[in-house]
């Protein structure tokens, strides 16, 4: 069993749990297989880390994934608040205002 902390993502300390002998990967509150994230990207602490965690998860050798907290599909309910959270992350986490930014 391996426990790895890749840096902040959904919450500080949220880690990958990998059981290579069982070919199982667990990462709670980041990847919602077959579903959309809950409102406001699940209130993630660091959205760039959440996006990076998807690529990091694919680097593991696993057949079974445990994501945790899966409820409703939610695309009809969570699309707008998730888009808002992504835009806020660009503004706050990456200091980018897109076409509205000013360059000195």
Count of CB atoms situated within 10 Å of the CB of 64: 10
In a domain, 68, yes or no: yes
3-class secondary-structure state, position 96: coil
In a domain, 89, yes or no: yes
Q: What are phi and psi of 39, to 5 degrees?
A: -50, 140
Count of CB atoms situated within 10 Å of the CB of 93: 14
- Nearest Cα residue to 33 out of 4, 1, 11, 62: 62
In a domain, 87, yes or no: yes
In a domain, 45, yes or no: yes
pTM of the model as a whole: 0.72
- Nearest Cα residue to 9 out of 40, 52, 69: 52
Domain ranges, residue 71: 2-96
**pLDDT 10s digit of each residue in the chain, 104 long?**
999 999 999 998 999 999 999 999 999 989 888 888 888 888 899 999 999 999 999 999 999 999 876 666 777 888 899 899 988 888 888 877 666 665 55
What total of structural domains would you count in the chain?
1
3-class secondary-structure state, position 8: coil
DSSP sequence for 14-78: --EEEETTTTEEE-TTT--TTSPPPHHHHH-S-HHHHHHHHHHHHTS--SEEE--------HHHH
In a domain, 101, yes or no: no
Between CA 58 and CA 62 the distance in angstroms is 9
In a domain, 103, yes or no: no
In a domain, 13, yes or no: yes
């Amino acid at each position: 069993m391996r426990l790895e902390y890749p840096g902040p993502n959904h919450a500080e300390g949220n880690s990958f749990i990998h059981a290579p002998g069982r070919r199982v990967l667990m990462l709670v509150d980041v990847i919602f297989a077959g579903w959309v994230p809950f409102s406001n990207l699940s209130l993630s602490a660091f959205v760039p880390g959440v996006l990076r965690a998807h690529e990091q998860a694919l680097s593991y050798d696993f057949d079974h994934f445990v994501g945790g907290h899966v409820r409703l599909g939610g695309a009809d309910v969570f699309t707008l608040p998730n888009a808002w959270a992504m835009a806020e992350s660009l503004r706050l986490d990456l200091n980018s205002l897109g076409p509205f930014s000013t360059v000195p």
